[in-house]
Amino acid sequence: MSQSHADLMRRVAETDSTFVLKDGLWTGRCLICGGPLCFDERTGDGATIEHILPRSLGGTNDLRNLGIAHVRCNNEKGRHWDPRRQHHARQDRYAALLQRLLADRERRWREGPVDRERVV
Ligand SMILES: [Zn+2]
C-alpha cells in the first residue's frame, strides 16, 4: 500500500471521532457496518478507504467523502451497489445508502488534531 494512501487513511481517522491511536495502531469503527476495525498507522494495512460517493460518480478525495471501512465491506458495497451493474430499481436504495454513510460521517466528524495522550 502506498505511503500517500496510508497518509490519507490517517487523515480520515483523525477526523473520525470513533478512532483512537494506540501503539501505532488506529482502532475505530467501520463506516459501513459499524463494526470494530483497526489498521496500521504507518502502512494502512488492515482496513481500506471508502469513497462514500464513488469516484465513478464524481466523488472526490475530500475528507468528508471518505471513511475507513473493512476491506470486505468496501468490496461488498461496490459489488452489490455499483449502479453501473444494477437494475434501476436498486438505485433508490443505493442513493439512500450513500445518504446514510454521508450522515454517519458527518455525525462522527472531529475537528483538530487527536489528543494522543488521551488514549490509554
Ligand atoms: Zn465493516
- pLDDT tens across 52-65, in order? 998 888 999 999 99
Confidence of residue 119 (pLDDT cuts 50, 70, 90): very low
Around ion ligand 1, residues with a beta carbon closer than 5 Å are 30, 32-33, 35, 70, 73
- Supply the pLDDT for residue 120: 44
pLDDT tens digit string along 25-42?
999 999 999 999 999 999
If you measure from the C-alpha of residue 32 to the centroid of ligand 1, how many angstroms do you get, rounded to a whole number? 5
Q: How confident is the model at residue 4 (pLDDT cuts 50, 70, 90)?
A: confident
Widest CA span of the chain, in angstroms?
Answer: 50
How far does residue 35's CA lie from ligand 1's centre (Å)? 5
Which residue, among 40, 78, 36, has the nearest Cα to 59 in the 3D structure?
78
Say what the pTM is: 0.84
Distance 25 CA to ligand 1 centre (A): 17
The edge-to-edge listing of strands for the beta sheet with 36-40 is 20-22, 25-29, 36-40
Residues 6 or more apart whose Cβ sits within 8 Å of residue 66: 8, 12, 49, 50, 51, 52, 105
